[in-house]
Structure 1
Amino acid sequence: MEGGVGISSYSRNSSNQGSAFLLIAPALRVAIAAHDFADHTAAPLRIADLGCAVGSNTITAVAFVIKAVRDKFKSSGLREPEVQALFSDLVSNDFNTLFQHLEGADFFVAGVPGSFYHRLFPSSSIHFSMCNVALQWLSKASERFLSHLFQRPWLTEDLRPGTLEESLLEDQHQRLLERSRRKPTKISAATWLVELKRLSLAASSPSSLKRTNPLCFAQGLIDEETRDSFNIPAYHRTLDEIAKAVSDSGDVFTILQLEELKCPMPTYASVKAKVEAGGGKAPTPQEYAGIETMAMKSTMKKQIEAHLKTPDLVEALFKRLEERFLPKEPYVPARHVKMALAILERGSK
């Protein structure tokens, strides 16, 4: 993610991700209200956000959970506990900017750098954990996946449908099992996971994989080897795959809720209509394309820079992408992305 608070920073270009949390907030409030906190009266109560990134989204999510927990304690006649929020992400995350936004928070704060595929906390120290639109990121890719990757699945129809996805699923499934079976942290209450999802293994196609690789639009700027060797280390599970991962972990987790959600995403038509309805001046198509480009920059610029190693080339690529983001007639009135919400409860073992 792009740190800081600049024009292409994640802090200023992550409203779409924030919309995802607003969508799941009612379900989280219900789950928290239904939980029995009788065993958690001793302070402090700790809440962890895994893959927190930087900006207002993680703060909004954590503050929402803390308020829901405090409301539950109050309605149950329990003394309100001290609360500590633990913000965790990779060591490259811009924690400095995050902490600046947290100044004056009415809860204790700590940063925990590291991968959520590894142990991050002492045993039995976390009461709630959440992972909002972050679990799709892989820790690493196996040789099997890389061998399929270099068959150029976005350029050819020869690859058997599902082969690339199956190798990714095997990688990610094993890492999730390893993480849950270590039992380093007893989640005393619940954990929830939100991630982008697919309908099934067969739902992905070479054309859809092409859309996930922005370097496929760099024809004439880079050679084929540079284009084909770029990898976005992410995998979006189906509901069945999430259920299987939980089931295969044994009695570590119990699924309280698992469902598909449709998160509305802005289009030029919807943005234009919303702004005009409020009496404002709608963005031009060029301005809208710039907004979309900045959103992609905020999440992918660092990965692309590390791969291409030439700043001017990176800027040329994003300029080309901005041209592709220009809305075309007829304007698409609405769109959405499908997400998976999983609310899990940790077993007693």
Structure 2
Amino acid sequence: ETSVLDYTMQQYRLFPIIAQSYACFFTSKAMNNLYTKYMEQSSDGNYSLLADIHASSSGLKSLTTTMAVESIEDCRRACGGHGYSSFSGFVKFYQDYLPNTTWEGDNYVLTQQTARYVITKNPKKYASQIGTNPTITYILQYLNEPNQKCMATTPLNFNNQEFQLKAFRHRIAYLLANAVDQIDNQKKSWNSMLVEINRISHAHCQYLLVQNFITALQYNSQQQINDESLNILHNSTSLKKVMTSLCNLFVLHTMEKDVGEFLESEYLTSSQARLLRTQVYNLLKEIRPNAVSLVDAFLIPDALLSSALGRYDGKVYETMIDWASKEPLNGIILNIDPNNNNTILEKAKL
């Protein structure tokens, strides 16, 4: 019998979610480091990082919580009919997590704060911060070379990390340039631009996720930030190889999902978009041998998962039968007669 994870469609649905999880993991570390740096600077009266932290955290909250909710639902559907059962664990996860897209800031409203920040970062006005402020720097790079094109000629070319960063920088800078033109020159109101504003925020934050994942892979123990997980990654060639494949999948799958914006900016051609899709499929094959281990690495205990499907020991059907046999409702016979007001007719004789 073919294993579920050996079906390409299941791989395409599930493996990018694993990649997203690690992208969020490394970004959480980067944001924590940025916050620590800000606290050190603010003690000396330097608050220059405050606006950047606020804008990035607002946009990332919106993007990552949406990603998580959609991923929970995608995983549930990938389990077929069993995914609807409370035994799957997804039902509780979904209802517990869904409010995160609304409280602490509605996800659509929060994107305005991120986009407003990046839109107002005019490189000419903030020229002194070029090189120190990454947002200003990548906008200026686009303004200096707006017709930059992707040079990929084979699927493997898309694994180049410098290309990946350039692609996402070009995309967000293109969206920003268009928005600024519509607001400043075409005199469009902020309200009329809210759909574009949402796209800008998500593009900027996707770039942050890509950048932080790649930065983690390029980390070395000589850097000032001493992190145990990054040191482990740096010191293990085999682990770094797996993480590199996972990073490539995250980057390229994200590009593929939003390929219209890369085509619209004319950074990619239609033939390159096909090469991109081919490389996504190639990466699924690379990740397959380590897919289960990449999930187990988070060390989420069975008691927390409360799932018959996601058990560490793999005893799915035995657990489902056992849990179903312990259901309290098995011990009663419910009334299905609409003319009888009694809810319970009698105790079942089991």
Fold conserved between structures, TM > 0.5 = no
TM-score where L is the length of structure 2? 0.28
Richer in helix (by share): 2
TM-score where L is the length of structure 1? 0.28
Richer in strand (by share): 1
Larger of the two Rg values belongs to structure: 2
